[in-house]
Amino acid sequence: MNVFYSVCLVLVILSMLGLLYRVWKGPSVPDRLVALDAVGVMLISAIALFSILFDTPFFIDAILLIAIMSFIGTVSFSKFIERGEIIERGPNR
């Protein structure tokens, strides 16, 4: 069974490499951003596979965290691309 997980892991990392190629090439910033978001998803899968391989429950927190972080990161990037800043000033200032 371990062989199956290992093959999955290698595939995940290879797809990560593919996504990195997209980050590299671009050509536009949104292309890179979507690729990075997908890298986050690949990371989740990789860590899940690792915890199965290492037979440990300690990395489950990390999976949840990456899900949150990758979401926050993508949102802030998107907002940055759209508005040019992440945290806008309040209307009364």
Partner 1 sequence: MVGRRILLEFVLLIFLPVIFAVLVPFVYKKIKGIHTGWFVLVVPLVLFGYYASFLPLVMDGGHAISEMKWIPSLGIAFTSYIDGLSLLFTLLITGIGSLVVLYSVFYMDREKEDLGSFYVYLLMFMTAMLGVVQSDNTMTLYLFWELTSISSFLLIGFWYTKDKSRFGALKSMMITVFGGLMMLGAFILLSIMGETFSVRELIAEAPELVSHPYFTLALVLLLLGAFTKSAQFPFYIWLPDAMEAPTPVSAYLHSATMVKAGIYLVARFTPIFGSASTWIWLVTGIGLLTLFWGSFFAVKQTDLKAILAFSTVSQLGLIMSLLGAGAISYHATAAVFGFATYAAIFHLINHAAFKGGLFMIAGIIDHETGTRDIRKLGGLMSVMPISFTVAAIGSLSMAGLPPFSGFLSKEMFLESMVALRHFELFNFDTWGILFPIVAWIASVFTFTYSMYFVLKTFMGQKKFDQLPTQPHEAPIGMLISPMILATIVILVFFIPNVIGKWMIKPAVMAIQPTLYANPSAIDIHVKAWHGFGAAGLWLTIGVVAFGTLLYLTIPKWQPLYRMQPDSLSLNNGYDAMMRGSEKGMNRVSRLYMTGKIRTYLLYMFAFMSVTIIALLFLKDAFVLDMNSFAAITLYGSLNAIVLILSVGFVVFAKSRLAAIIALGGVGYSVALFFVIFKAPDLALTQLVIETVSVALFLLAFKHLPALSTHGETKRNKMVNLIVSLSVGVMVTLVALSSHSQKMIPSISQYYKDTVKTEAAGGNIVNVILVDYRGFDTLFEIAVLAIAGIAVLGMIRLRVSRKEPTDENE
- 84 vs 91, beta carbon nearer partner 1: 84
Instruction: Note whether 48 and 63 are within 8 A (CB).
Output: yes
The backbone torsions φ and ψ at residue 84, rounded to the nearest 5 degrees and listed phi first, read 85, -5
DSSP letters, 64-83, are HHHHHHHHHHHHHHHHHHHH
- Residue 3 binds partner 1 (CB under 8 A): no
Map residues 33-72 to x or -, x wherever contact with partner 1 holds by CB under 8 A. x--x--xx--x--xx--x---x-x-xx-xx--xx--x--x
Torsion of CA 74, 80, 83, 87, to 10 degrees: 100
Binding stretches for partner 1 (CB under 8 A): 6, 9-10, 13-14, 16-17, 20, 23-24, 26, 29, 32-33, 36, 39-40, 43, 46-47, 50, 54, 56, 58-59, 61-62, 65-66, 69, 72-73, 76-77, 80, 84-87
